Amino acid sequence: MASRMSDIRIWTAALVVIGDEILSGRTQDANIAQLAKWLNLQGIRLVEVRVVADDMAAIAEAVNTLRVRHDYLFTTGGIGPTHDDITVDAIAAALGVGVIVHPKARAVLEDYYVTRGGINEARLRMARVPDGAELIENVISGAPGIRKDNIFILAGIPRVAALMLESLSGTLEGGRPLISRTIGCWVPESEVADILRETEAAHHGCQIGSYPFFREGRGGANFVIRSTDAAVLDACIADLAERLSGGGWEPVIDGI
């Protein structure tokens, strides 16, 4: 879905969240928002996410659909040492490649477990990668993330995934970061729907999202304007503020 808008190349990414614990409701996902924010800083847009079970076919379907559709594909979860950790096998199968023990990952794990009871077969599982893959450093727990072509295989535990992203920062080609600014207003969004639609239409390259809230006993909304162009964004913000003021409302720059 790499596409052009206003002659700007948009770099896109997708995420596959792997894990029965998310689908059972046991664990509240935190990787979607974390990855989205990190991608914004890299100038890459998160365009779609799928959450799938610990199931070979479900993982393979999602990976094979999304890896060809986007510049980058990320996965989180399922790279630990136990029987329910099948991400590497599922992705290798999806790509039609074998699974090998990566020599450097093995060395890292052997070293890590010297003072932690020694290496064993389960721990060695975490050195397995799709053939041809590189490692993504993990300074916390030894077991590395994995990069294979445009696929980035990250841990499910958010703070471990965060460290893997940290080590990838600045290494992926992206475009202009999507920037955003917010205007808040103590107004039901349904009273200013026309203003929002007309303002968005008047500023090519901006999207305006409307996020209502109830707070302190009354309703209001934050309007988030997004663009890759700071000048366009500023013009849109100024215009929206003026239109809201003109309608008798009091816009609050940077939101409520």
Q: Which single residue is written with the structure tokens 């664990």?
A: 27
Residues 206-245, interacting with its own copies (CB under 8 A): 207-212, 224, 226
Assess 146 for contact with its own copies (CB under 8 A).
Answer: no
CA distance 160 to 80: 12
Question: What is each CA distance from 187 to 120, 184, 190, in whole angstroms?
Answer: 61, 9, 8
Strand 151-154 relative to strand 72-76, pairing: parallel
Assess 82 for contact with its own copies (CB under 8 A).
Answer: yes
Residues 157-216, interacting with its own copies (CB under 8 A): 157, 178, 180, 188-191, 193-194, 196-197, 200, 207-212
Question: Which residues have CB under 8 Å from 222's CB, separation 6+?
Answer: 182, 183, 184, 210, 211, 213, 255, 256
Assess 5 for contact with its own copies (CB under 8 A).
Answer: no
Of 188, 194, 195, 244, give the one whose Cα is nearest residue 213: 188
CB of 197 to its own copies, least distance (A): 4
Selected binder of its own copies within 10, 18, 22, 185 (CB under 8 A): 22
CB of 132 to its own copies, least distance (A): 25
Q: Where on the chain is the footprint of its own copies (CB under 8 A)?
A: 17, 20-30, 32-37, 40, 45-54, 58, 80-84, 116-117, 120-123, 125-126, 157, 178, 180, 188-191, 193-194, 196-197, 200, 207-212, 224, 226
